[in-house]
Amino acid sequence: MDDPSRKKPQGPKDMLGRCELAPRRRARETFFSHLGVLELREERVDVVCALGRVISQPIVSSEDLPVFSRSTMDGYAVRAQDTFGATEALPAYLNMAGEVPMGVPASGVVRVQDAMKIATGGMLPEGADAVVMFEQTAPVDDRMIEVTRSVAPGENVIQAGDDVQEGEVVLQAGHRLRPQDIGVLCGLGVTRVPVYRRPRVAVIPTGSEIVPPHQVAGPGQVRDINSYHLSALIEQAGGVPDRYAIVPDDLAALTESVLRALAECEVVVLSGGSSAGTRDLTAEVVSRLGGPGIVVHGVAVKPGKPTICAVVRKTPVFGLPGHPAAIVIGFDLFVRPVLRLLSGLREVPWSSLRRPVIRARMSRSVSSVAGREDYIRVAIEIEEEQIRARPILGKSGLIRTLVDAHGTVIIPEERIGLERGEEVEVALFD
């Protein structure tokens, strides 16, 4: 451990001697420049449990999909050339050569002027190269049908290997598995999937005033919102939250909790204790535990200004403000991209920052202060067939402003507000 008596590192100062806030872009670049290469761990999981996991090795098909040519319609397997020129006025007449049973190899051969009854998904019999639908035929008698429309070779048929060919790379490493990916893996007989392990994240709530949710809060006390809120955000982002016990405002107790988290987890997130108050110990503790230590302390965003980003013993450590709305912003800007990288996603981390976005028009004007990014909580409403973004006003310490909101709108740092009716992008909450 470093010398406890050393002074905490100070960032650049403004003209009044205060620590200068880092613009969001510079803060992220500074943090990631100190983060280094993250260690990714692998495991194999059952395909039925793999939704949302990230592939750690390319998945190569060991067979064709489908393994045989099959019909996509209920109808008759035919040689396409035997139907050429067929119309309702001048139909083609074909001999019934049997029926293709489902679930077993097709027996028999479709020869010249033959047709074989087939159901959707049935195996195309030898000699046939197309399927004519029932609706385009009519029975003449038990041994013959008439075809009133010609079909082309391959029509109403999926050929062997049309979906996936043997030896083809189906899914690349770094791909997050979606429901359709689970489907193709099962179709290929892949029942165990190599994936990256979910990153384990320590969540440390701090503050002598915090009590567990099941406890009645006494005078001056509040129930723990933030660690549960954070744990849900972490799980939603693909991590495994490990919620630690509430730590009072005590330097030794907080140091012990952070040291344990550094030993047990791949990411450490502290809730509260990141601002400049006398009882806010996060910066003091983190700065003592090893280099490079705190690399960002204060970001030019609202809410979320006191956010701390640090790297301690190669582990990313975050100190997020105690206000619920500020937690969302700090999490999205810094924690979420780290979790995505640790999950194995092969993408530039900032491309993962944006939540799903819709365009809307502001239902009222809102003001801001130039020099910082303002994140405004908004509710989406439909008014006169237009999508409107209604600002949810209230201080960042009020969890209800998040509950009532559907997403956020950013006021850029060079603007002093948004006008009523102005078109904006709303980043939706998941």
Give the pairing type, strands 192-196 and 222-223: unpaired
Measured CA to CA, the distance from residue 46 to residue 20 in angstroms comes to 50
| Residue 167 pLDDT | 96
In a 10 Å sphere around its CB, with 0-12 CB exposed, 13-18 middle and 19+ buried, how is residue 247 labelled?
A: buried
Measured CA to CA, the distance from residue 410 to residue 418 in angstroms comes to 10
Is a pLDDT exceeding 50 seen at residue 8?
no
Domain with CATH 2.170.190.11 in the chain: 70-158
Average pLDDT over residues 274-287: 74
Report residue 385's pLDDT band, with 50, 70 and 90 as the boundaries: confident
Question: What digits encode the pLDDT tens for the residues 144-166?
Answer: 999 999 999 999 999 999 999 99
| Residue 277 pLDDT | 56
Question: What digits encode the pLDDT tens for the residues 166-200?
Answer: 999 999 999 999 999 999 999 999 999 999 999 99
| Residue 132 pLDDT | 98
Average pLDDT over residues 16-28: 75
| Residue 5 pLDDT | 38
Report residue 41's pLDDT band, with 50, 70 and 90 as the boundaries: very high
Is a pLDDT exceeding 50 seen at residue 37?
yes
Task: Give me the CATH topology for the region 70-158.
Answer: Molybdopterin biosynthesis moeA protein; domain 3 (2.170.190)
Domain with CATH 2.40.340.10 in the chain: 357-428
Is a pLDDT exceeding 70 seen at residue 315?
yes
Measured CA to CA, the distance from residue 227 to residue 399 in angstroms comes to 13
Task: Give me the CATH topology for the region 24-41+198-352.
Answer: Molybdenum Cofactor Biosythetic Enzyme; Chain A (3.40.980)
What backbone phi and psi angles, to 5 degrees, belong to 300? Answer: -80, 65
Which stretch of 314-323, 346-355, 387-396 has the lowest confidence by average pLDDT? 346-355
Give the pairing type, strands 210-211 and 222-223: parallel
Is a pLDDT exceeding 60 seen at residue 3?
no
Task: Give me the CATH topology for the region 357-428.
Answer: Beta-clip (2.40.340)
| Residue 408 pLDDT | 96
Which stretch of 35-39, 72-76, 224-228 has the lowest confidence by average pLDDT? 35-39
Report residue 397's pLDDT band, with 50, 70 and 90 as the boundaries: confident
Whole-model pTM: value is 0.83
Task: Give me the CATH topology for the region 42-63+169-196.
Answer: Molybdopterin biosynthesis moea protein, domain 2 (3.90.105)
Domain with CATH 3.90.105.10 in the chain: 42-63+169-196
Kindly state the percentage of the chain with pLDDT values over 70.
92
Domain with CATH 3.40.980.10 in the chain: 24-41+198-352
Instruction: Answer for the pair 65, 188: CB distance below 8 angstroms, yes or no.
Output: yes
